Structure 1
Amino acid sequence: MAFFGLTALGAQNPFESLAKSHAILNIFTLDEFREGWDAVAKGNSELELSQIEAVLHFVYHGPAPEPELILFKEKLGLDRTTPITWPEFATAYEDLVAKIEADEQSLSGRLGSAATYTSYDELCKAKDKGIKLEYGPKEKLVAPLTAVQEFGWNAHESVEKRTIHGKKSCPETIYASELYKSGMYF
């Protein structure tokens, strides 16, 4: 659903927009990729597979999201040794955009790949049975969905592991231990 034609301002489904597998390649035009191609190729008619990341960096005005890099590299061939021409790149882009748009029309595209359940009833049944999910939110999402999830999202990066050594005994426990040993306190 578009609001005054502004469709590139974010997905309406947070599970879809924050999923690690979500691609937004279709918000850019082929002309924008041509500008990126020309900026990276600098007059050459071909690029190496390793230079595709630089083209995406130009188009995205920063590091390209991981799903887009993976999509392009898989479409063009991961073990490719021959250079890539502009027509090959343009065909790959058009195929990927068609696939993304088809996925958005399907039910799985609307739910997003980060959604585990398709209904509230399924969620309740799994909760009642005590079924633990195979993957947590950190493995499925690039950022927390809610403010509550922000706490602890990057906890492992900032918390240092410390060993805590408790007291073996204090005056109160020594006194209570002696009372118990003497038989006065049961």
Structure 2
Amino acid sequence: MALERKTLRAILEDETTDTSGKLKKILDVLHEETDTLQNQLDEKNAALAKAEKDRDAANGGKEAAEKALNDYKAQQTQKDTHAAKEAKFRELLKSAGVLDKYADRVVRLSGEDIDKLELDDKGEVKDAKKHTDSLKADWSDFVGTTTTTGAKVDTPPTNTGSKMTKDQIFAIKDAGERQAAIAANADLFTGGGKD
């Protein structure tokens, strides 16, 4: 019951109630109205607190998503940088003479060395010569060496381009080899060659 004029008038005009009873009724009506207003205020405060909590949770989720995105970008940048350094490291291995068949193994074993490489703004290795020399020394077992050996003079090749005779060709037992020899010495079988 709200404290309206008609309510107040009804209380004051009631002749069955004395003045202290009328005051008590007016106070009861005021207390009831105050309690109703307080309950409404409490509900609004609770709704506001919930809205703030939801907002903070949403902002926390947004912050977590931004952090996750930044972490992902940092990981991708690190992977890209590592891949670029690894490619340059492979180039250094090649220039140091490390054989291709060992390159993958050396790269796997050189993880820290790859990460220590510094690239300039053009993507080239800083102090490449120093690194190449270091790789030659560190991985010398994997550096290939080539030697050139000449033909032995004391035993010259047997086939010096001389032609075979018909008898030699017919003496070949393998049919495929015999036909190859006939094709190579076709002039013997076309009448242009001599026995």
Same-fold call, TM cutoff 0.5: no
TM-score tier by shorter-chain length is under 0.3
Q: Of Structure 1 and Structure 2, which has the larger fraction of its residues in helix?
A: 2
Higher-Rg member (1/2): 2
TM-score, structure 1 normalization: 0.21
